[in-house]
Amino acid sequence: MSSGSPAPYVTFEAFLEAEEKSDVRHEWLDGVVYDMSRGTPEHARLSAAGAAELRTSSKGDGVVYGSEAMLYVADTKFSTYADAIVVCGPLAT
């Protein structure tokens, strides 16, 4: 049984500030920050193929972004770098 202390709460604004300065990517889930693992060559290949398929399938109805774009889902209070994101409509900044 682990007796480790709980992770400290981090506001989303503080997470964004720290992420801008970090060489390592992180995910933020309702105040808790997690390290993201590195991808493998196979993961990179599948991500590129998936993004290409999404671009072809969207038929101009959405814009496809790769893993360099940060995704934030307000309803779940979750932020990550997804392999591919399709945005239909304006970007929120």
Work out whether strand 71-73 and strand 63-65 pair parallel, antiparallel, or are unpaired.
unpaired
Residue 44 lies in a domain: yes
What pLDDT was estimated at residue 29? 97
| Count of domains forming the chain | 1
Q: Running along the chain, 93 residues long, what does each successive block of 10 average in pLDDT?
A: 73 96 95 92 94 87 90 95 92 79
Domain with 28 in it: 12-87
Residue 5 lies in a domain: no
What pLDDT was estimated at residue 36? 92
What pLDDT was estimated at residue 2? 52
What pLDDT was estimated at residue 60? 77
Residue 81 lies in a domain: yes
What pLDDT was estimated at residue 4? 64
Taking Cα atoms as reference points, which of 17, 13, 12 lies closest to residue 32? 12
Residue 58 lies in a domain: yes
- Please tell me what DSSP assigns to residue 31: T
Residue 34 lies in a domain: yes
